[in-house]
Structure 1
Amino acid sequence: MPGTAPQQTDTEGVDGGVGLTALLVAAARAIETHRHDSLAQDVYAEHFVHAAPACAHWPVRIEQVPDGDDNPLWGRFARYFGLRTRVLDDFLVQAAGTKARQVVLLGAGLDTRAFRLDLPSDVVVFEIDRAGVLAFKQQVLTGLSAAPKVERVPVPVDLRADWVIALTNAGFDPAAPSVWLAEGLLFYLPGPAETYLIDAVDRLSTAGSALAFEAKLEKDLLAYRDSAIYTATREQIGIDLLHLFDTGPRPDSAGDLTAKGWSTSMHTPFDFSRRHRRGPLPEPNDALEGNRWVFAHKPRS
C-alpha cells in the first residue's frame, strides 16, 4: 500500500547483484575522468574498481579498451554515465547554492560527491545504501586518506526497508530544505517501494527542496534485450541488467509529484548530449530510448 515501507532487508555488498552495478558506474566515471574532454571528474572512481576482485581487470581509461569509443559498454554506455554524473552534479550544486543545506543520496553506491564537489561548508550529505556497499566504500576511501569537503553521514539501510526512521535518526531535519538524488535507482526497486520512496521524499521535504531521479518509460524492457548496450554488458562483464531491473508495473512518480504540488520537468539524456556536445545520441534498438531524467522542485510558499 502507498505510504507503507516494504519490509525487506539486504546486506549485500558490491561483489554481486545490484551492488556490482555500482562498480560499473565507478569504472565509467573513471573513464570519463581521464578523457581529454571530460564532463565530470572523480579521482576516487578507479580506486573502487581496482579494490574489488570481481572487476580489477576492468578498464579505467578508454585507451585500455581495444575498440575504444566503438565499444558499446565502455564507449557509449560509459559516456552515458559520465553525462549523468555531470548533469546531477550541476543540479546538486545549483540547489545547494540557493537554500538547501541537506543532501540525501538515495542508493548512494560509490558516490563521492561529498568528497569532490565544492558545496557550501554547512551542507550535510546523507548517504543511504546497504551496509555492505557503504563499508566497501569507506574502506577504499580510508586507504586513500580521503577527507570529505563537507559533513558526510552514512546511513546503512536497505531502501526496500523503512529507511525513513534510519535517516531521521541520523540527524536529518525535515524542516530544513533538502536536495535529493536517486541516481540509477528506481528501476531496481519494486513499484510499491518506489511509491513509498516518492511519498516519503514529499513528506520529508519542506518548501525549497529539490529532487532529481532517473526513470525508464519502456512498457516492455525485454524488447531491448538484444540491444548493443545490454548485450555488451552481459557478455563483457557478466551483468544482466534486465535480470536486475524490476519488471513489475511502474508508478508515474513524476505525475505523482506534480499532483502533490511539485514543479517537475522530464528530459531525455540526449537533450543533455546535445547541450554539452558530448554523450550518447539515439540509435536503433536503443536501450537508452526510454530513459528519462526528472527534476522536481517543491515551491516556496
Structure 2
Amino acid sequence: MVSTAPPSTPVDGVDGGVGVTALLVAAARAIETHRDDSLAQDVYAEHFVRAAPASAGWPLRVEDAPDEDRNPLWGRFARYFGLRTRVLDDFLLRAAHTGVRQVVLLGAGLDARAFRLHWPAGCVIFEVDRAEVLAFKHRVLTGLSVTAKAARVPLSIDLRADWGPSLADAGFDPAVPSVWLAEGLLFYLPSAVETHLIDTVDRLSCAGSALAFEAKLEKDLLEYRDSPLYLSTKHQIGIDLLHLFSKEPRPDSAGDLAGKGWSTSVHTPFEFTRRHGRGPLPEPNDALEGNRWVFANKP
C-alpha cells in the first residue's frame, strides 16, 4: 500500500522500537550542527528531538551531555552519525550534480535532506518509510513552515512487500538514472527482506544509477553487548540496539550487486574519519568495528 501524503491524524511513530533510533540520529545531527568543527548542518534535527516525548531531555549540544565529548553516546556515537551524514550527503549531491534527478531514501526516517541540501533543478526526492514516522515528520516540518529545496514525495510503503509498483505509481521512472540511499536501515531487516530490497533496487535501476548503504559484518553482534557504545545507548536513553538488530546472518549485498554488474566499494567509517580529520577512530571492544559503508554504481 502506498500513500503520497501523511495520514490526516498524525501518530508519533517515533515513540518506541526502531522509530526511536530516528530520534537518536536526529539528536546526533543537532549536536553535530552546533559543533565548531561541524561536518554537517541540519537545523531541523533539534526540532524533531524536542517534539517527541521519547527524546525529552536529550542533549542538543555536546556541552549539555555528561562528560561532553568523552560520553560514548553523545560524544563518539554522535560523531559517527555526523560523519555518516556528511559522507552520504556528499554521495547524493555528487550523483545529482552529474545528472541524476531521482533520489530515493529508503527508510528515510527524520532525514531532512530535501530541505537542507542545495539540489539542482529538477530533482525529486522520494522518502520511503512507515506512515507513522512520515506523519510525525510532516507535523514537525509543517509547524516550522519550511519549504523543500526539491520536489518531495513522501511514501508510506512496507519494504517487506513488493514495493516497486508503489514507487512507480508515485512517479518514479526506472528508465532514467536514480540514486538510492539505505542509511542505517539494513541491519534491522530480516535477511530475506534485505535481499529483496537489493534485488528491487537493481531491477528499478538503469545504467548511471548509484546506491549507498550501511552494513554490519560481525558474525555475532552479542560479542559487543558490553561495549561502551551499546551500554551507554541502552542506559542513557533506553535504546537497546542489539535487541532491535536482526540476529540473522547477513547477506553479502555488496557481492550480490557486483554479481549483477555493479561496481562496488566497501569502506570502514574510520577511513572517512582520517579523510575529514574528525570522527570516530578504532578502540578496544568497538561496536563500530564491523560497520561498513558500501557505494555502488551501475555502469
TM over 0.5: yes
User: What is the percentage of aligned positions where both structures have the same residue?
Assistant: 77
SS at match of 1:195: helix
Corresponding residue for residue 28 of structure 1: 28
- Structure 1: distance between partners of 2:257 and 2:151: 29
Verify: 1:146 aligned to 2:151, yes or no. Answer: no
User: 8 Å contact 1:12–1:19 — kept in the other structure?
Assistant: no
Verify the 8 A CA contact 1:211 1:296 in the aligned structure 2: yes
- 3-state secondary structure, aligned to 1:43: coil
Distance in 1 separating the partners of 2:176 and 2:153: 16
Deviation string 1:63-93 (CA, Å, 9 cap, x unpaired) is 1112000000000000000000000000000
- Could you say which residue in structure 2 is the equivalent of 1:8? none
Structure 1 runs (4+) greater than 4 angstroms displaced: none
- Matched-pair contact (CA < 8 Å) for 1:46–1:60: yes
- 1:38 matched to 2:38? The reply is yes
> What does the per-residue CA deviation read over 1:200-221, in whole Å, with 9 as the maximum and x for residues that have no partner?
0000000000000000000000
CA contact (8 A) 2:102 2:124 kept: yes
The answer as to whether partners of 2:15 and 2:52 remain within 8 angstroms in 1 is yes
Q: Cα distance, 1:276 vs. partner?
A: 0.4
Amino acid at match of 1:280: P
The answer on whether the counterparts of 1:99 and 1:208 sit within 8 Å (CA) in structure 2 is no
Mapped to 2, the partners of 1:121 and 1:81 lie a distance apart of 28
Task: Name the aligned partner's letter for residue 216 of structure 1.
Answer: K
The number of aligned residues is 289
**2:215 is matched with which residue?**
215
Report the RMSD for the aligned CA atoms in angstroms: 0.9
Report how far residue 56 of structure 1 moved.
1.8
Give the drift of 1:164: 1.5
Q: State whether structure 2 residue 282 is matched by structure 1 residue 282.
A: yes
Whole-angstrom CA distance in 2 between matches of 1:30 and 1:162: 35
Matched with 2:265 is 265
Shift of 1:110: 0.2
Alignment check: 8 A CA contact 1:186 1:215 kept: yes
Instruction: Tell me by how many angstroms 1:12 deviates.
Output: 7.9
Q: Which amino acid aligns with 1:66?
A: P
| Contact 2:12/2:52 (<8 A) preserved | no
Counterpart contact for 2:12–2:135, Cα < 8 Å:
no
Per-residue CA shift, 1:29-79, capped at 9, x if unaligned? 000000000000000000000000111210010111120000000000000
1:110 aligned residue: 110
Matches within 5 A, 1:199-214: 199-214=199-214
The question of 1:156 aligning with 2:159 is answered no
Please state how far the C-alpha of 1:162 moved relative to its aligned partner: 2.5
Task: Give yes or no for contact 1:12–1:130 (8 Å, CA) kept in 2.
Answer: no
The 10-residue stretch of structure 1 (181-190 or 163-172) with the greater mean CA deviation from structure 2 = 163-172
Amino acid at match of 1:298: K
| Residue segments in structure 1 that go unaligned for 5+ positions in a row | 1-10
SS at match of 1:125: strand
- Residues 253-287 of structure 1 deviation map (CA, whole Å, 9 limit, x = unaligned): 00000000000000000000000010000000000
Structure 2 unaligned blocks of 5 or more: 1-10
Aligned residue type for 1:255: G
Partner of 1:235: 235
TM-score, normalising length: structure 2: 0.95
Report the secondary structure of 1:136's partner residue. Answer: helix
SS of residue paired to 2:76:
helix
Taking the aligned partners of 1:54 and 1:68, their CA distance within structure 2 comes to: 21
Query: Match for 1:293: what amino acid?
Result: W
What SS does the aligned partner of 2:111 have? coil
CA distance in 2, matches of 1:108, 1:230: 23
**Aligned mates of 1:33, 1:39 — CA distance in 2:** 8
Asked if the contact 1:106/1:129 (under 8 Å) is kept, the reply is: yes
Structure 2 distance, partners of 1:43, 1:78, is: 16
